[in-house]
Amino acid sequence: MKNHFAGCIVKQRRYADQEWRDIRQRVPIAWTACTLRGRRPWFLCAVYANGRYCGRRVAILYAGGDLFACRHCYRLAYASQSESPRDRNLSQAQKIRMRLGGSPSLFDPFPDKPPRMHWRTYERLAARGLAAEGRSLELMRAYLDRPAQSRRRR
Ligand SMILES: [Zn+2]
């Protein structure tokens, strides 16, 4: 059961010596059934990378230049740019959630121990994952809390 909606994301982004401006891109959204809370939305990556349409279902899209793309396409296009600590911690946290059978979204509860996994393994992964989530949320909060003046060049 999959319905596709056309969504729209607007994000302001300041380029080196330019004013803030809006970036608009229609992003398809897919809804999937979810055991606990009905349905949840995913973004579909609508980018052509290496001449092929991506179409991956992802929880997070990254803004690269004027386009929103999934991590995979973003990496292809911006392989030379190093990831920020915020992205690094987020992707580490998401990888661990998915390895534990959960969704990559930090808004979902942390996944329980998978049935076939040893408790020690789970505890190690959970400690590492939760630490990465904490760091990533802290960096995100610090970024969002920055006063407007420091984000906008005078
Ligand atoms: Zn993609």
Ligand 1 center from residue 72 Cα (angstroms)? 6
Instruction: Say if residue 2's pLDDT is above 50.
Output: no
Ligand 1 center from residue 9 Cα (angstroms)? 16
Looking at per-residue pLDDT, the higher value among 61 and 12 belongs to 61
Q: Examine the domain organization and report whether 90 and 62 are in the same domain.
A: no
Segments forming the whole domain that contains residue 112: 79-146
The pLDDT score that the predictor gives to residue 36 is: 63
Ligand 1 center from residue 87 Cα (angstroms)? 16
The pLDDT score that the predictor gives to residue 104 is: 80
Amino acid at 136: S
Domains in the chain, number: 2
Q: Examine the domain organization and report whether 92 and 63 are in the same domain.
A: no
Q: Examine the domain organization and report whether 87 and 65 are in the same domain.
A: no
**Would you call 53 exposed, middle or buried from its count of C-beta atoms within 10 A (0-12, 13-18, 19+)?**
exposed
Domain boundary residue, one of 45, 69, 93: 69
Write the pLDDT tens digit of every residue in 124-154.
999 999 998 888 888 777 777 776 555 554 4
Cβ(58)–Cβ(84) under 8 Å? no
The pLDDT score that the predictor gives to residue 140 is: 76
Q: Examine the domain organization and report whether 54 and 111 are in the same domain.
A: no
Separation CA 94–CA 90 (nearest Å):
6
The pLDDT score that the predictor gives to residue 58 is: 85
Q: Examine the domain organization and report whether 96 and 123 are in the same domain.
A: yes
Ligand 1 center from residue 49 Cα (angstroms)? 7
3-class DSSP assignment, residue 141: helix
